Amino acid sequence: MLDQPFRSPAPGPAPDASGGSVLATRDLHAWYGESHILHGMNLEVRAGELVTLLGRNGAGKTTTLKAILGMVPRRTGSVRFQGTELIRLASNRIARLGIAFCPEERGIFASLSVEENLVLPPKVRAGGLSVPQIFELFPNLKDRLRSQGTKLSGGEQQMLAIARILRTGARFLLLDEPTEGLAPVIVQQIGATIQRLKADGFTIVLVEQNIKFAQTVADRHYIVEHGRVVDMVRNADLASSMDRLRVYLGV
């Protein structure tokens, strides 16, 4: 039996009063060495919102997430989170403001067990999910508690990767391609989890190639091309916007 039911952790600080956005980037540029990847990214995310970054491979979506968290060698412009300018902060200081990143490669410790992976992440804020709460979200992980990361299926690894960041207490989540390569039944489970987190007040930026999946969870979609936002589509308008999306995405 679980020690306690799943409850949303206590809300974090109020969003930035300027327009109600929790996070806003303005004229954000990013480089890897001599490669100029982001060319003026402008986007904003409001409290409790889920926005996706859609675009072709190489458009700059993952780099945008890493630039928000300070994980690129060089960036200029502005990244404001809850009123705090992040552009000159180191990534460890940014994480402690309540931002968590789940990378496309998942980032779990493959040689460690599920249990060890869950207890390792540092708590950056109060209110992180307990292990029993994690097991309510991801029952599969409870059955694999002693299993090494190398013994988990791709879907179980993805569940563990998301579970780890929920332990930190962060309320702003950056999720990079969480459904890539997963079976449809696992994609549905990941989608249900993301919807539940959103309903419990988490704010989420999601990089996703699967438009059908994105449509089931998102409020708005930013279209990224050549390192900048070229369009924004509200989820309610997604179906009627497919013609122009095909131009951008080649779908």
User: Degrees (nearest 5) of the Cα angle 215, 234, 211?
Assistant: 25
Band (pLDDT 50/70/90 cuts) for residue 251 is low
| Percent of all residues in the chain with a pLDDT value above 70, rounded to a whole number | 92
Question: Rounded mean pLDDT of the chain?
Answer: 89
Beta strands at 203-207 and 50-54: parallel, antiparallel or unpaired = parallel
| Cα Rg of the chain, angstroms | 18
* pLDDT, tens digit, 9 for 90 and up, residues 85-133: 999 999 999 999 999 999 988 889 889 999 999 988 888 888 899 989 9
Q: In the chain, which ranges are continuous DSSP H helix?
A: 61-68, 91-95, 114-119, 131-137, 139-143, 154-166, 184-199, 211-217, 242-249
In angstroms, rounded to a whole number, what is the distance separating the alpha carbons of residues 180 and 162?
14
Residue spans per domain, the chain: 15-98+171-178+208-251
* pLDDT, tens digit, 9 for 90 and up, residues 221-248: 999 999 999 999 999 999 899 888 888 8
Q: Count CB-CB contacts under 10 A for residue 223.
A: 22
Residue 220 pLDDT greater than 70, yes or no: yes
0.85 surpassed by pTM: yes
User: Degrees (nearest 5) of the Cα angle 27, 33, 35?
Assistant: 60
Using a 10 angstrom Cβ sphere, with 0-12 exposed, 13-18 middle and 19 or more buried, the burial of residue 56 is middle
Q: Count CB-CB contacts under 10 A for residue 239.
A: 10
Q: At the top level of CATH, which class does the domain 15-98+171-178+208-251 belong to?
A: alpha beta
In angstroms, rounded to a whole number, what is the distance separating the alpha carbons of residues 182 and 171?
25
CB 67 within 8 A of CB 224: no
Residue 55 pLDDT greater than 90, yes or no: yes
**pLDDT at 46 (0 to 100):** 97
Residue with tokens 């990847």: 37
Hey, CA dihedral for 177, 178, 184, 189, is it positive or negative?
negative
Q: Where do the DSSP E strands lie in the chain?
A: 21-32, 35-46, 50-54, 74-81, 84-85, 99-102, 172-176, 203-207, 220-225, 228-234
Band (pLDDT 50/70/90 cuts) for residue 10 is very low
